[in-house]
Structure 1
Amino acid sequence: MKLTNVLLKIKKELLIVIVLLVSISCGKSKTYQFKFQNPTLSTEERVSDLVSQMTLKEKVSQMRYDAPAIERLGLPEYNWWNECLHGVARAGEATVFPQAIGMGATFNEDLMFNVGTAISDEARAKYHHFSNNNKRGIYQGLTFWTPNINIFRDPRWGRGQETYGEDPYLTSRMGVNFIKALQGDDPNYLKVVATAKHFAVHSGPEKSRHEDNYLTSDKDLRETYLPAFESAIKEAKVHSIMCAYNRYNDEACCGSNLLLQNILRNEWNFEGYVVSDCWAINDFWEPGKHELVKTPSEAAALAVDRGTDLNCGSVFDPNLTEAVLKEMIDEEKIDIALSRLMTARFKLGMFDEDENVEYSKIPYSVVASKKHYALSEKAARESMILLKNENDLLPLNKNITSLALIGPNTNFEQVLLGNYHGTPNNYYTPLKAIQEKLPNATIYYEQGCEIAEGWPLLSPIPSNSLKNGGLKGLKGEYFTNKEFKGEAELIRNDTDVDFSWLNKKPLDNSVSDEFSVRWTGELIPKENGNYRVAFKARSGVKMYVNDSLRFEFSNDHEAKTGYFEEQLIAGESYKLKIEYSNYHTDPQAHLLWAKLDKDLLKPAIEVAKKAEAVILFLGLTPEIEGEEMSVVLEGFDKGDRSDIKLPASQVKLMKEIQALGKPTILVLMNGSAIAVNWADKNIPAILEAWYPGEFGGKAIADVLFGDYNPSGRLPVTFYKSVNDLPDFKSYAMKNRTYRYFKNAPLYPFGHGLSYTNFTYSNVIVPESVTIHKNIPVSVEVTNSGDLDGDEVVQLYVTLDKKYKNTPIRSLIGFKRVHLKKGETKTVSFLVEPKQYAAINEYGEQDITSGSIKLSVGGKQPNVEGFTGAKSTQVITKVLTIN
């Protein structure tokens, strides 16, 4: 019996061994058409083999952002262009987090990491959803041109909203955590590719970015403009860098030996790839721009020779082929650039089976999930900054019986989103959120004014002003192509044209991106008046009225609005035809209007008189500040601002409401600092809310009514006047940002109030430290008030006066801590030598013996002329460097 058992056991073990051997043998015998397809080889071997298989023409074709397929190699097409600044952008449904400037205001590195993880989860899920349906177009890949870690040195810059603020250290910490979360921690595969942009000295003006040459000292370059990029590369191992449009020190940033070779490759040992900003290489030769060379071939050769590997644009293909044939550049340089690009695709697992790539298992259900919604709402809450709270007007009592909500941002969905955003399933405007929070109160709402004179707030044209035969609305003819070819696949009556198609398109419930719609019918206004009639979309649009073309625009990446203005007569019929051609993964179509001669102020005053208190929702919108826009209004200049004051229309409204003597709160929604000087003197409570994401209104309501204790901090300085600022085109840091600004700010960097009080004690700093050694710092923080809340503990250094032109002070540490009322926590920092080093005129770190000041507390120390945050404490210690 025992012998039988032994024999059975041996037989079983032999069977297992045989199965394993057969399995191994089968694996080894698996054949591949090309060596690069073998996943057991190293990435270097696979890349080398793939590049060696290509002709010169094929190589060049893969160096443009919309790389075509190479069918003979089994290489699918790939579009490198994707965006995820504060959520997966321009690819339909996604969780929309607060705009980057709002994330900067949280001063929360851990939150930034969690947001990046959520975004990259959604990105991976979307990529596999698209690729499984053989969709490989724009905004469907895994290479994301995010984050923007430029320094927000001037509040006039319209794209400053995309950054984490004006401070190099804050920007570095937020950027590093975001990049790490995006790219993941798998030893074999990248989750997605992050791209740090725009390398390296780039922050406006927008309208002249294609021709400007910016100059800085070596000191300013190393002290202000490079640290965030250096951290992104050395700490976060960012895999991609985007070079900027402008020139720096006479070299185009996308053709700069200094930036792309000496610093990026040689000094920092960057191993990833460089992508140009979009159509930036065209600026090398086009008239009126940089004009560095005379032909596209020379431009392409210059860019690649200096280190730009991928072209967002079409200059490389076919011009690089010509450049090689004419011996403007060696083909070896093409191979180097292409190898960097293909390395990224292999590291993303694009040529491997999904089962080998752990990230491929992320389900689509993570997209717009409850977990991500909760995170977006948390981020919005933490981004809120209480700028002023005179006599503790806030929080408001939820038992209030009537409330007037007034202002152009009260119920405007777009102001939640900022730029570079996806399409959310939720739009919690302040009006919606407050109505939900106070179901028993009487809530009055009036727009009150335009966001700026000449820029009306548009709303969808209602069905009762549209006619399609005997029906209300317009006739919609839907085609399965974007050229209106053949017969319409679907004909229906659309009661209005206000579409944001999310997961499914209107025709076949597929993820198809190419379709077109022709809407026809009549526009019949109910009131006489001067109207702006508009159409907003990201794709191509033509609009005809009475058979006359009134406007058209082509495909764009940010939503574009075309419009005409005309005196319309009540009851009269105006024949409409709108042709919409979609090529985009985020199709949107909105037929809008506004009556321009409508009195908005009078009804606002009337409802304010009826209410117990008034909340004004003012500020800016991403429609008038942003990237290279056509908008020219008083105080605004093609995406930038020419003045930093609140627009005159809003100031007039604010003054009229304040004169009524009602308790009045101002909520600002914007992407950049605003000089609200009059409000600071006359409005008792001011809340900064930024562009706060799809749950922004809920976060605002929670703060206003005490369900959340505000804890955000300003990531930028709020100045009093544009007259306090240097010339916009000057990149010298003199009198810029809190580190060098010598006048009194309206609100300083790092400022933010709470509904509770925090006290600091027992600061432990050594009296002296050996040169080039770390400095330990610790402090006890106590919530000495009556409410639980978060405190942002900030650590600043002030260098010895013997150094010339050093910052007034510099942020070198911050930690957000939650404290229950009465609770005390110890917060510790470790200051590295580079953080207390001076940067000399040659851009070198300089540490010599002497004394430095370390200041720890809830704000900057010794901000001259600023009287806010009196209860916020700062303790300064002096120590000697030996």
Structure 2
Amino acid sequence: MKRTTILSVCILIPVLLRGQDFKSFPMWNTALPLEQRVKDLTGRLSLEEKVGQMLNAAPAIPRLGIPAYEWWNEVLHGVARTPYKTTVFPQAIGMAATWDAGSLKLMAQYSAIEGRGISNKAIREGKTGDRYLGLTYWTPNINIFRDPRWGRGQETYGEDPFLTAKMGAAFVNGLQGDDPKYLLAAACAKHYAVHSGPEPTRHSDNINPSTYDLWDTYLPAFKELVVNAGVAGVMCAYNAVNSQPCCANDLLMNDILRRQWKFTGYVTSDCWAIDDFVKNHKSHKSTAAASADAVFHGTDVECGTSVYKSLVEAVKTGIITEKEIDVSVARLFTIRYRLGLFDPAEKVKYRQISENILEAPEHKAHALKMARQSIVLLKNTPGVLPLAKSAKKIAVVGPNADNKIAQLGNYNGFPSRNVSVLDAIKEKLGSRASISYDEGVSFTSDTLFTPDEGSLYAGGVEMAYYNNTKLEGPVIYNTMAHQIDFAMAEGQAPAPGVSNVNYSIRFSTTIKPVADETITWKMEGDDGYRLRVNDSLMLNSWNGSQGQRNFRLKVKKDKTYKIVLEYWQGNGNATMRMKSGSYKKADMTTIANRAAQSDVIVFVGGISPELEGEAMSVNAKGFLGGDRTSILLPAVQTEMLKQLQATGKPVVLVLLTGSAIAMPWENEHIPAIVNAWYGGQSAGTAVADVLFGDYNPAGRLPVTFYKNDADLPDLLDYNMKGRTYRYFKGAVQYPFGYGLSYTKFHYSYIKAPLQLKKGKPLVVEAMLTNTGKVKGEEVVQLYVAHSGTKQMAPIRALAGFRRIALEAGATAKVRFELTADQLMLVDANGKRYQPEGALTISVGGGQPGVTQTTTSNVLQHNIMINK
């Protein structure tokens, strides 16, 4: 009898648990403190479930009502890589060139709002496990752009620790919102730390920075975001520092991040970085040991290869304890709770945001504003810019004149409308002017693609339409075409019965070559596409691609090749073209002769994110693996410019770039040079506004433009000596902080004390007047220099900046309040100290001692620092 009773109870308990509503658990009780809810949740998970939550693609746990969650998402300069059209702002380096932290904060807020709209839709549709739909954004990239050859420098805020820190903090504050309980979105400071190329060796590099450089250059921005801005996450880098991989680094992770800075947020590895411990750094003998060591050092999420699954084995074999796993799991769920993902939607104000907010008018207007703000006028011979709108003939030449993909940078989204420079000039002048266009040359070569006449596809191309973006379900409409040349205006249905948004097309055809040859296709698609030849995947841009890509296929005579191109369209304008052709040498003389018939020539060149970026397979002259081997403007563009300049017509050079470009010939011979970075969806409009005087440029360089390659140390040398404006002692082409205007500014005085007690703050005032004839903006820059110290110190260092708009003739007082910390230096042991003796303060529109023609003066003031 007693045994029967016990047996009945044992059977009954599991039945009761299965029937219990998980919503009654404390983890779901919104009235309880966050810590208690997280503790309850963590305590209900099995070891295997805990480990699963430490992967970037965290699976659902249905028995507790926990949905799947994908940690990996990007919002570098607008929500990126989603299947939706989003607002694309200038690339990060361009936003840094605005020197406007307020604009950057608003951009981040708008981007987070768009991200919320997408995430809320994903939650409603049960797609929380899909990549690029979550709210944990692995941005901003606050690595120091120490060398202009690094291809990912375009993702940063430039070469200066102070500018990077202030712009990065503004981004975090805008993205994460101001609600006292919930995050609008979660930012992540990356790549921690001492990471800035080379790209081809990043998975195995070991960097041994001096303690001075570590604390003076590489860590200040991270400290600002962690200690002061409250960033939610940090991403540890691929490389090793002092022979320990960053994601398992005693100094960086345990000592500095967690102990000194008291960081309580989550840390994610860069993708595949933990796998590098074994395969590339060879610092660990097994994935279990590598995974456990990363967790010991506070790396909570492993991105990429799921090697963290070996943590189950590591616990069972005693390498790590389950309690140590619990620490990471608790951090991760704390972030998800702070995002409001475990609370009723009606209690979280950000959960009310709809996807209808995407590309809101105010977002698009701000993208244009920032594109304008980012443009740096590098040179302007009097009388050249702004151009007269009365010009009757304008020649637009160059590889970036109509290259929309270049404007989007990398880590980008895809807007409904992307305006090229050529488009914008035509729109601005309308029928009043005749505008000719020549691509001229490619970025690095004088050969250009020429489409074939006629069709390769003798039997035609079958087009099958689907009413979704995944080519699923029944074919709604079938038709035939002679070519793959599809284009549809925004809002227009492409075929009977097919929706005007969120559809897909499968193009199917065959070719039977008449000779052994290589067929070249130029492809252009918006939104995403992928190409299969004989059922083998040959090209994949399914996550979105605006702009052009080339594809080459070696074929045999009389062999049949099955070609299947799959394409999806979300909303906005639709394009899918696949044209065959060949490359032919450009006739520069003929191009120049055509341009000579115009009143002015606008050459839009530079480089492209198709050449510089993350871990790329590019191997063109001057480029390698995503990095650059030379900072010179590619020689073929200089040759084209020489021919255009020889026509005697005024030539304006517009550069699109993510990094500094050396232009010795151009700087001497081209009368006007404009740097427009990768300016986002409104780049073309912004350039046209500057060229024709509808906007007065005021962007300033966030990086030094050196004169030539000889100015640069080895790319893998992380010693800061001879690098950036803070330590480079030679002459430069255009200095950090430099930029011209169509008006002039004058600083009439600088007010500051003659003596200052050590440890006290410093107040500096200056009077600024727009002495020109048009309204303009000035970026007021304050630099400090310690001339009396015998220890290593920057030549000068930025300590304050303001972007100020003034009407012609107007005057404004500018005031800076510098903390005692801003007047300090770093000693050889990484400790901050304030030296006694002479301190020089300079205030103006750039650095003191700049030799180029400028549009404002710089004032200096000496202060004695006493005990």
Q: Map of 1:379-418 to 2, 5 A cutoff? A: 379-418=370-409
Three-state SS of the structure 1 residue aligned to 2:830 is: coil
**2:158 is aligned with what amino acid?**
G
Q: 1:15 is matched with which residue? A: none
- Taking only aligned residues, the RMSD between alpha carbons, in angstroms, comes to 3.2
Q: Structure 1 residue 209 and structure 2 residue 202: aligned?
A: yes
CA distance in 2, matches of 1:295, 1:489: 52
**1:868 is aligned with what amino acid?**
T
Three-state SS of the structure 1 residue aligned to 2:24 is: coil
Q: String of CA shifts for 1:503-547, please: whole Å, max 9, x gaps.
A: 99999869999x88453255999xx99863255789784432xx5
Contact 1:93 1:502 in 2 (8 A): no
CA distance in 2, matches of 1:328, 1:36: 30
Contact 1:420 1:558 in 2 (8 A): no
**1:857 is aligned with what amino acid?**
G
Q: How many residues align?
A: 837
Contact 1:171 1:228 in 2 (8 A): yes
Q: Structure 1 residue 149 and structure 2 residue 136: aligned?
A: no
Distance 1:433 1:405, change over 3 A: same
Three-state SS of the structure 2 residue aligned to 1:382 is: helix
Provide the TM-score with structure 2 as the length reference.
0.91
Partner of residue 26 from structure 2, selected from 35, 43, 63: 35
**2:508 is aligned with what amino acid?**
W
Q: 2:772 is matched with which residue? A: 785
CA distance in 2, matches of 1:31, 1:635: 60
**2:859 is aligned with what amino acid?**
I
CA distance in 2, matches of 1:353, 1:653: 62
Q: 2:520 is matched with which residue? A: 532
Q: Structure 1 residue 728 and structure 2 residue 715: aligned?
A: yes
Q: Percent identity?
A: 41
Contact 1:197 1:242 in 2 (8 A): yes
Q: String of CA shifts for 1:319-361, please: whole Å, max 9, x gaps.
A: 1111111111111111000100000001101011111001122
Cα distance, 1:132 vs. partner? 1.3
Q: 1:13 is matched with which residue? A: none
Q: Map of 1:240-319 to 2, 5 A cutoff? A: 240-286=233-279, 289-319=280-310
CA distance in 1, matches of 2:639, 2:24: 72
**2:818 is aligned with what amino acid?**
V
Cα distance, 1:318 vs. partner? 2.1
Distance 1:226 1:592, change over 3 A: farther
CA distance in 2, matches of 1:505, 1:343: 45
CA distance in 2, matches of 1:414, 1:222: 37
Q: Structure 1 residue 844 and structure 2 residue 831: aligned?
A: yes
Distance 1:74 1:536, change over 3 A: farther
Q: Map of 1:308-387 to 2, 5 A cutoff? A: 308-387=299-378
CA distance in 2, matches of 1:420, 1:601: 34
Q: Structure 1 residue 226 and structure 2 residue 223: aligned?
A: no
CA distance in 1, matches of 2:323, 2:500: 43
Cα distance, 1:643 vs. partner? 0.6
Q: Map of 1:598-609 to 2, 5 A cutoff? A: 598-599=585-586, 601-609=588-596
Q: 1:676 is matched with which residue? A: 663
Cα distance, 1:233 vs. partner? 1.0
Q: Map of 1:569-580 to 2, 5 A cutoff? A: 576-580=562-566
Three-state SS of the structure 2 residue aligned to 1:101 is: helix
CA distance in 1, matches of 2:492, 2:312: 41
Distance 1:715 1:531, change over 3 A: farther
CA distance in 1, matches of 2:489, 2:196: 34
Distance 1:511 1:697, change over 3 A: closer
CA distance in 1, matches of 2:588, 2:289: 58
**2:423 is aligned with what amino acid?**
K
CA distance in 2, matches of 1:581, 1:475: 10
Q: 1:7 is matched with which residue? A: none
Q: Map of 1:468-617 to 2, 5 A cutoff? A: 469=459, 473-476=461-464, 491-493=478-480, 496=484, 517=506, 519-521=508-510, 532-535=520-523, 541-544=530-533, 551-552=538-539, 563-564=551-552, 576-580=562-566, 591=578, 595-599=582-586, 601-617=588-604
CA distance in 1, matches of 2:491, 2:615: 30
Q: Structure 1 residue 880 and structure 2 residue 864: aligned?
A: yes
Partner of residue 632 from structure 1, selected from 619, 630, 638: 619
Distance 1:530 1:689, change over 3 A: farther
Q: 1:803 is matched with which residue? A: 790
Contact 1:478 1:491 in 2 (8 A): no
Three-state SS of the structure 2 residue aligned to 1:520 is: strand
Distance 1:655 1:583, change over 3 A: closer
Contact 1:799 1:853 in 2 (8 A): yes
Contact 1:739 1:807 in 2 (8 A): yes
Partner of residue 73 from structure 1, selected from 64, 75, 100: 64
Q: Structure 1 residue 746 and structure 2 residue 739: aligned?
A: no
Cα distance, 1:475 vs. partner? 3.1
Contact 1:138 1:585 in 2 (8 A): no
CA distance in 2, matches of 1:385, 1:59: 50
CA distance in 2, matches of 1:839, 1:797: 14
Contact 1:529 1:597 in 2 (8 A): no
Distance 1:824 1:323, change over 3 A: same
Partner of residue 853 from structure 2, selected from 868, 872, 876: 868
CA distance in 1, matches of 2:595, 2:714: 41
Three-state SS of the structure 2 residue aligned to 1:341 is: helix
Three-state SS of the structure 2 residue aligned to 1:150 is: coil
Contact 1:147 1:175 in 2 (8 A): yes
Cα distance, 1:93 vs. partner? 0.5
**1:89 is aligned with what amino acid?**
A
Partner of residue 449 from structure 1, selected from 438, 441, 444: 441
Contact 2:476 2:498 in 1 (8 A): no
CA distance in 1, matches of 2:70, 2:501: 17
Q: Structure 1 residue 421 and structure 2 residue 421: aligned?
A: no
Partner of residue 113 from structure 2, selected from 117, 121, 134: 121
Q: Give the gaps of 5 or more residues in structure 1.
A: 1-29
CA distance in 2, matches of 1:431, 1:307: 50
Cα distance, 1:304 vs. partner? 0.9
Cα distance, 1:52 vs. partner? 0.5
CA distance in 2, matches of 1:450, 1:505: 35
Cα distance, 1:721 vs. partner? 1.2
Contact 2:464 2:506 in 1 (8 A): yes
Distance 1:252 1:588, change over 3 A: farther
Q: Structure 1 residue 199 and structure 2 residue 188: aligned?
A: no
Distance 1:628 1:31, change over 3 A: closer
Q: String of CA shifts for 1:93-120, please: whole Å, max 9, x gaps.
A: 0011010000000000111111111111
**1:578 is aligned with what amino acid?**
V
Q: 1:10 is matched with which residue? A: none
Distance 1:717 1:375, change over 3 A: same
Three-state SS of the structure 1 residue aligned to 2:680 is: coil
CA distance in 1, matches of 2:29, 2:587: 68
CA distance in 2, matches of 1:383, 1:554: 29
Q: String of CA shifts for 1:369-412, please: whole Å, max 9, x gaps.
A: 11111111000000010000012310011101101000010011
Q: Give the gaps of 5 or more residues in structure 2.
A: 1-20
Contact 2:510 2:562 in 1 (8 A): yes
Distance 1:602 1:131, change over 3 A: farther
Contact 2:192 2:246 in 1 (8 A): yes
Contact 2:76 2:139 in 1 (8 A): yes
CA distance in 1, matches of 2:583, 2:556: 11
Partner of residue 131 from structure 1, selected from 118, 123, 128: 123
CA distance in 1, matches of 2:22, 2:235: 38
Distance 1:808 1:276, change over 3 A: same
Partner of residue 648 from structure 1, selected from 619, 624, 635: 635
Cα distance, 1:703 vs. partner? 0.5
**2:135 is aligned with what amino acid?**
L
Cα distance, 1:624 vs. partner? 0.7
Cα distance, 1:32 vs. partner? 3.1
CA distance in 2, matches of 1:306, 1:131: 33
Three-state SS of the structure 2 residue aligned to 1:665 is: strand
Cα distance, 1:581 vs. partner? 8.7
CA distance in 1, matches of 2:778, 2:570: 43
